Structure 1
C-alpha cells in the first residue's frame, strides 16, 4: 500500500528556504517530534577562554529541547507585552543555557533603545535657523555619553542614525549648518560623516579591480572632503567620537592599512572605552580588509580592560569567531554549530539576524525562534524588522505556536500590506489552526503580491488537495505550477496525488515527466518509488483501483 506520508504529502516536506529576504518553509509539516533533552545540542559551559574555537562537526540535533523552547516562548511573549521598549528589552529572556553578561545586556538594551534626537528634528532646527540649539543638544548628548553609564554610545548612535543614511540628500542642509555655525565641531563631524558615507556609496561593493575608475575617483574626492571636515571637527572637540568612527570607515576603503590603524589608535587614545570606535576598528581588521582573526581577537582582548567602564565592549569577543564561521566556505550546518557556540555570549544584532536566517534555511526552527526573538528584542523599530518577524512567525507555527505566529503575521501585514511574506506567514498559521478559508484568502493575496514565487501556489494546492478535497481547484493549481514552475518537484507530486486520490487519469504521464526531470536526484527517489507502486495498482489504462489506497488524513 502506498505510504501517503512520503511523497504525496506536500506538508511533509521539512525544508526551509529563503524567499524575498525572509526565510520561509517550502511547505508546512506535521508538528515536529522534538528530541528528548539528552539529544539536544548543549553549549559548552561558561568559557575559561574568551574566544570560541570553531567546531568542525555539523549540528545534527535540535539546539534546544521542547521544554526549553516552551519556557523561552512563554517568557518572550510575556516580555513583548510590555509597552515600554527599554523595560521590554530588560525583561526579555536570554537564550536557553547561555551565559550572557547581565551588565552587557542592560547596556545593549539602553544603547539600542535610548531616546535620541531624530533626523526630522535635526533638519527642522537647521531649516529654522536654530543651529545653536542643535549644537547645544548634541553637546548635551556628548556630555551624557562621557559621564552617564546609562548613556554609553548616545552621540555615536545619533550620528549613525541621522547622518549615515541618505547622506547625499542631506548634503544641502549639512552645508547650511556649517555656514550658520562655522565653529561647530558637531556640524563638521556631521558633514564629514556624510561625506564618508557618500564615498562608500560611490565606491560600491565590488572589488577594486572591478570598480569603474570614475567611481574610484569620485570616492577619493569625497574622502578628501570627509577628512578635511573630520579633522576640523576634532581640532574643535577632540572628544568627538563619531568623527573617529567616520574617519576609520572612510580610511578603510581609500587609505592604507597603516593609516587606518593610526586613526584607530588616535580614536582609542581619546576614548578607549568607546564601543563605536572599537567596533569600527574591529570591522576594519577583518581579513577581507587586510586584517586577520588574530588582530580582531587582539583588539577584543585589549577592549576588555575597559569593559567595567563600558559593558558594551563585552560584545566584541564574538566578532572574530563570527567572521571565521561566516567565511568558512563549509557545510551550513557546521556554520550553525559555530553560531550556536557563539551565542553562549552576547553577540551583536547582526550576528543574531544572520544566525536566525541560516537556521531557517537549514531546518532548525527552534534556533530561528530564539535567534530572531533576540534580534527583535534589541531592534524592534528597525525598518527591516518585519522580515525577522515574518521569518519567526513561520517557525513559531512549525513548533506548535500558531496563535502567536498569527498575531506576529498580522503585525507584519499591518506594518506593510505590500510585503507578501506577511501573508504567507498568516496563511501558514491559519492552516495550522485549521481555518482554511482565511488561509486561502491570505495565500491568494500573497500570489497577487508575488506571482513569481511557487510557494504560495504549492500551499494553495496543499489545502485544496489535502484539506478541503476540492479536486478541481487543486488540479487547476497543480496545472499552474507545472506550467509556470516545471522544475518545482512538489508541483508534480501534487498532480500525482490528485490523480491517485480523486482519482484522475494520467498518472503514467506525470510519472514519466517527474522521472525525466528528477530521476537522478537522490532527494526524489522515494517519490519515484511510490509513484511506481501506485501505477502497479492501476486497474486498467487511465484508471486506478482506489479502494486499495488510503487518502491522507484530514
Structure 2
C-alpha cells in the first residue's frame, strides 16, 4: 500500500470549506503516523465540541489498551495445565492493582474477563479454574461471567412475548447460578469491579431493580469513576430497562466532579441522546429532531457509535442538503478511535479517492478485511489504484465491480478513460486495451454520450473511419450540459454542416 505522501497544507483538499478544511489538514498529517496511539493523539478534535479537557486523549488511551491483548484464554489454559494457580492469582492481582493505580491506570482487569463468552471453551476453562481454586475471587468471576453470557445468548434479542418459554426458564436458571458466584467474588475481593458490573447486568436481565441498586451501591463505594461501571449504569438507566432520561441526566451531573481526573467518562454521556434518537425509524431518523439528538451526543462525548451515526445523518439527511464535508469529518473522528466498520471506511474513501487516493487506500484496506466482496469497495479500489497509477490492479478491481449493476456504468467509463488517456500508452495500444470496455459501455448504455466519444476515439486511433449514422446517433443522445460532450457536439455539427455545404 502506498504511503500517504507529504504534501504542503496549501495543496490539501482545497475545495473543502472551513472549518472542515483546517480539520482535514491536521487529520491527514496525523494519518501519516504509524503508531496507533501517537496517531490518535495527533488527530484534531471535532470543531466546536464541548468535551472535557483531556477527554480525547483518554479515549485514545482506552482504545490503545484494547489493541494490546491481556491474558488470552490460551494463556489461561497454560496456567491451569501447569497447575500454577499462585502465578495466575498474581497476574490477576496485577491487573486489578493497575485499575486503581494513580499512574499508568488501565482497564486490563475488565478486558481479561471480557474474554469469557458463551462458548464451550469458556465453559470448560471457567469450570476448571473454579474447581482448582474455589475460593479465588477471579475464578468465581470467570465462571459467573460465562454463565451470564450464556444467559444473554439464551434470552436472545426478541421481545419477551416472542421468546420461547423454555428459553426464559433456562435464562433464569443460568442467572440464578451466576449471581452467587458474582457475590462471592466481590466479597473475596471487594475492589473487583467487574463482579459488581456482572451482577448489575444479570439483575437487569431478570428485571430485579433491587439487586441492580444493591450492586451499584457496593460498586460506588469502591470506584464511582470506573469507566465500565459508568457505561453499565447509563445503559440500565435507559427507559427501555426501566429507567428514565431524567435519571440519566441526574447521574451524569453526579459524575461531573470526576471529569477533571477522569475525562474519559464523558464518552458514555452520549448514550441517552443516542437512545432517544433510536426511536425515530426509517426516514425520520434522517430529519431534524433525530439529527439534533445525535449532534448533541457527539457534542458531549466522543462515543464511537454516536460519531458514526452523526456522520450517517449528515450524509443522508432527507429534510436538508447533504453535508459531505461534515460527514467526512465525523467518520474520520470515529476512525481516529476505533477500527471495524466497513461502511464508514468506504464512505471516507469515497470522499478522498479522487484528490487523496493514497489516503483513501488506507481505509479501503480496512474495509477489505471486513467485506472483501462488496461491489462498491471493488469500484473504489479500482478508482484508488487508477489514481495512483497502478493500472493493472485498477483493472482487476474495476472488473470485479462490473459484476454488480450498480457499479457497472461508472466502472466501464473509468476503465475506458484509464486506458485511453491516463495510462500513458501510445494511441494504438491504448485503444486496443480500452476497446473491450468501450464496446461494452456502448452496448449496455447506448445513450451515454461519453461512451460514443470514447468509441470515436478508439476508431480514430485504430485508423478506422466513423460511420455517418454513428455520428447522428451520438448527436441524438448527447448531453448538451456536459462540457466534455459540448466540445465534441460542436465539432461534429460543424463538420456535418461543412460536408452538407460541400455537397450542394
TM-score by length of 2: 0.75
- 1:154-186 CA-partner distances (Å, limit 9, x unpaired): 3223323x22x4544311011111111222101
Q: How many angstroms apart in 2 are the aligned matches of 1:236 and 1:186?
A: 9
Matches within 5 A, 1:173-192: 173-192=125-144
Aligned partners of 2:474 and 2:124: how far apart in 1? 77
Tell me the CA shift for residue 112 of structure 1: 2.0
Q: Are the equivalent residues in 1 in contact too, given 2:118–2:147 (CA < 8 A)?
A: no
Q: Is the 8 A contact 1:89 1:377 kept in 2?
A: yes
Which residues in structure 2 correspond to 1:43-192 (within 5 Å)? Answer: 66-114=17-65, 115-119=68-72, 120-160=74-114, 162-163=115-116, 165=117, 167-192=119-144
Shift of 1:422: 4.3
**Of 196, 201, 205, which residue of structure 2 is paired with 1:253?**
205
Determine if contact 1:110/1:150 at 8 Å carries over to the other structure: no
Distance in structure 2 (CA, Å) of the matches to 1:387 and 1:552: 33
For 2:75 and 2:314, how far apart are their aligned partners in 1?
39
Change in Cα spacing, 1:247 to 1:99, as seen in structure 2 (3 Å) is same
CA distance in 1, matches of 2:59, 2:260: 14
Equivalent residue for 2:333, pick from 374, 393, 403: 374
- Uncovered stretches (5+) of structure 2, i.e. residues with no partner: 1-12, 421-433, 456-467, 486-504
- What is the aligned partner in structure 2 of residue 318 from structure 1? 270
| Greater RCO (Cα-Cα under 8 Å, separation 6 or more) | 1
How far off is 1:141 after superposition? 1.3
| Larger displacement relative to structure 2 (233-242 or 328-337) | 328-337
Describe the SS at the equivalent of 2:70.
coil
Does the CA-based 8 Å contact 1:98-1:343 persist in structure 2? yes
Aligned counterpart in structure 2 of residue 397 of structure 1, from 334, 347, 353: 353
Distance in 1, Cα, partners of 2:203 & 2:120: 19
| Segment of structure 1 superposing worse, 323-332 or 462-471 | 462-471
How far does residue 332 in structure 1 lie from its aligned partner after superposition? 0.5
Give secondary structure in 2 for the equivalent of 1:496: coil
Structure 1 residue 266 displacement after superposition: 2.9
CA distance change for structure 1 residues 419 and 243 in 2, over 3 Å: closer, same or farther? farther
Cα distance in 1 for partners of 2:375, 2:234 equals: 37
Distance in 2, matches of 1:106 and 1:500, equals: 51
1:79 match: secondary structure: helix
Residue aligned with 2:380, SS: helix
For residues 500 and 458 of structure 1, the distance between their equivalents in structure 2, rounded to whole angstroms, comes to: 10
**CA RMSD for the aligned pairs?**
3.6
- Per-residue CA deviations over 1:188-233 (Å, capped at 9, x if unaligned) read 1122122211111111111111111122122112211221211111
Distance 1:315-1:409 versus aligned 2 partners, 3 A rule: closer
Maintained 8 Å contact 2:85/2:132:
yes
Match of 1:281 in 2: 233
Q: Could you tell me which of 349, 365, 372 is aligned with 2:304? A: 349
* SS at 2:299 equivalent: coil
Cα separation, 2, equivalents of 1:388 and 1:548: 37
Q: Once the 2 structures are TM-superposed, how far is the Cα of residue 291 of structure 1 from its aligned partner? A: 1.9
Structure 1: tracts of 5 or more residues without a match: 1-31, 35-64, 481-493, 505-538
Change over 3 Å in CA distance of 1:228–1:180 after alignment to 2? same
Compared CA separation, residues 130 and 98, structure 1 to 2 (3 A): same
Measured in 2, the distance between the counterparts of 1:196 and 1:501 equals 64
TM-score by structure 1 length? 0.69
Q: Distance in 2 between matches of 1:173 and 1:131?
A: 13
Q: Retained in 1: the 8 A contact 2:375–2:407?
A: no
| Aligned mates of 1:429, 1:312 — CA distance in 2 | 36
Displacement after TM superposition at 1:477 (Å): 6.4
Label 1:414 to 1:548 Cα distance change in 2 as closer, same or farther (>3 A): closer
The count of aligned residue pairs is: 437
Deviation readout 1:418-458 (Å, 9 max, x if unpaired): 566643331233456687664332132346xxx6x533324
- Residues 111 and 151 in structure 1, CA contact (< 8 A), matched pair in contact too: no
Residues 1:184 and 1:388: Cα distance change in structure 2 (over 3 Å): farther
Is 1:546 aligned with 2:497?
A: no
